[in-house]
Structure 1
Amino acid sequence: MSEWKAKRFWTAAEVTESEGRFGIALDGRGVKTPAKRGLEVPTRALAQAIAAEWDAQDDVIDPRGMPFTRTANAAIDKVATQKAEVADLLAAYGDSDLLCYRAQAPEELVARQAEQWDPFLDWADKALGARLQPRQGVMHAPQDPEALSVLGRRVHALDAFELAAFHDLVSLSGSLILGFAAAQEVQSPEAIWDISRLDEIWQSEQWGRDDEAEAMAARKREAFMHAKDVLTLLNSR
């Protein structure tokens, strides 16, 4: 038996506005999330991106081609309903941040990590008011509680839509600091993504490419770039 697929039933998607929120209407009928909440977002730019996804659908609806819609749904149905828990989850990355766990050898890798990662720890100290300390090896060593508290307050200050995008920046890179750096455009998202993959890039240089691992990394990179695009559209208020 073939799988049933939803088909396009509308002629045009348009952006609507009500009390400072922006929705998407299909032939005048408002779009709802999977949990039947109104799909309304904080900025017209994000709503336009979502409407463009709906307009781009062919006869059969393909959710894979609607990343902005998926992110908005997640923000409304999931993040907004458990915002504090999501913020706590992301803030916890600070205590085991990728940038803080360094190789003990070989010297070239140790030097590369210091060259690429130390500037971000310095930036976090100055721009975010939180100094995280690097350590060698993989054994967990707690960071300064005050620094973690500062970072935690910054995470909790994000709204549900920002948090939905920020979640992917942090979880995909493995670094709370790189997540903030991408959000604040310290470097391009492409450069920050490569910096988060320093160890993997090193391994491929030494032992050769792993096609399966590279394919997975490409999918994660696409999701990371999308998360940054969402934040850019949210900042166009």
Structure 2
Amino acid sequence: MKMNNLNIFTQVVKLLNTKNILETSTQVRKYAVRKRFYRTTGILHSGGDKYEITLDQRKLKTPNGKLFTVDNEALALAIAAEWDAQKTNIVPSTMHLTALCSTVIDNPNHLKNTDIADYVTNYIETDTVLFQSNDSEELYKVQVQEWDPIIEWFNKRYQTQILKTRFIDGPEFSDNDKNVLRKHLLSYNFSSLIGFMFAVDTLKSPILTLACVDRYLTPERAVLLTRLEEEFQLGHWGRVEWAHDLNQQELQARLAAAILFIHLNSSSSKILSKSAAMQ
């Protein structure tokens, strides 16, 4: 089930450039769009490890008016592609990498690394996969089949002893379990931690998020698992195809962006030009 770097990058790019998401979001959220005002996008190496995004000859800026810079060439290219994927209208709700970078640069809530690590660590108390049904045995069997292997993998991977629950009193975990998770999160830089927070808010599950970061799950699979109860109910009561499919695609795009953001910000690898590679 574990994926290599090429596979996850290919899947992420595919999700981030889903045509249906761009077109449908433009139709549904007309109030949140503006006309595209540029013809071309590009990146500019501004010295050291800094890269800027250009829209024609204009340099991109954050919502707070700061110069939009990133420390990774691959991330700069991905953001430029995100802006280039906009058609007649600019739809901010489809530009997740841009939003993540702006959050890092502006830091509107004045967060520190420890704040985000504490947020993600405490979120595990309400992790989706740790709360399993006590009302429907049929649903519970599905959760055991689909969620329990993920919990088992997580405990083995991080040397924790977290237990699920079927009752209102919550799952079982120790202070040591929390400390292990917090220590692991603090090994990442601030930009990556912003990606973690975005992914956890998307999946409602630190466990599924870390499974994606560790390439144990694909973004598509993780979204399916977090929507497991909803999909189970839809199997019984039917679905409004366009609405549910759109929601699923949006979650996949959000998560794919967050995972890509984490990997690119926690990797020192750079994309080499053809000429440099041939030297």
With the shorter chain as reference, the TM-score category is 0.7 to 0.9
The runs of 5 or more residues in structure 1 that have no matched partner are none
**Against the structure 1 CA distance between its residues 210 and 65, is the aligned structure 2 distance closer, same or farther, given a 3 Å change threshold?**
closer
Asked if the contact 1:5–1:61 (Cα under 8 Å) also holds between the matched residues in 2, the reply is yes
Asked if the contact 2:62–2:106 (Cα under 8 Å) also holds between the matched residues in 1, the reply is yes
Range moving further from structure 2, 124-133 or 47-56:
47-56
Corresponding position of 1:22: 51
Corresponding position of 1:123: 153
Cα shift readout 1:40-98 (whole Å, capped 9, x = no counterpart): 22311001111233445567654345332222101221279303323322211112221
Q: Does 1:229 align with 2:260?
A: yes
Q: Does 1:67 align with 2:96?
A: yes
Corresponding position of 1:190: 220
Corresponding position of 2:187: 157
SS in 2 for 1:15: strand
TM-score relative to the length of structure 2: 0.72
SS in 2 for 1:82: coil
Which of 47, 65, 68 aligns to 2:76? It is 47
2:254 partner letter: A
Q: Which has the higher contact order (CA 8 A, sep 6+)?
A: 2
**Against the structure 1 CA distance between its residues 109 and 63, is the aligned structure 2 distance closer, same or farther, given a 3 Å change threshold?**
closer
Asked if the contact 1:98–1:175 (Cα under 8 Å) also holds between the matched residues in 2, the reply is yes
Whole-angstrom distance in 2 between the partners of 1:189 and 1:7: 29
SS in 1 for 2:169: coil
Range moving further from structure 2, 74-83 or 156-165:
74-83
Q: Does 1:111 align with 2:138?
A: no
Q: CA deviation at 1:105?
A: 4.1
SS in 1 for 2:107: helix
SS in 2 for 1:102: coil
Q: Equivalent pairs: percent with the same residue? A: 27
Range moving further from structure 2, 207-216 or 196-205:
207-216
Range moving further from structure 2, 174-183 or 18-27:
18-27
Q: Does 1:77 align with 2:94?
A: no
Corresponding position of 1:208: 238
TM-score relative to the length of structure 1: 0.83
CA RMSD of aligned residues (A): 3.0
Q: CA deviation at 1:218?
A: 3.7
SS in 1 for 2:121: helix
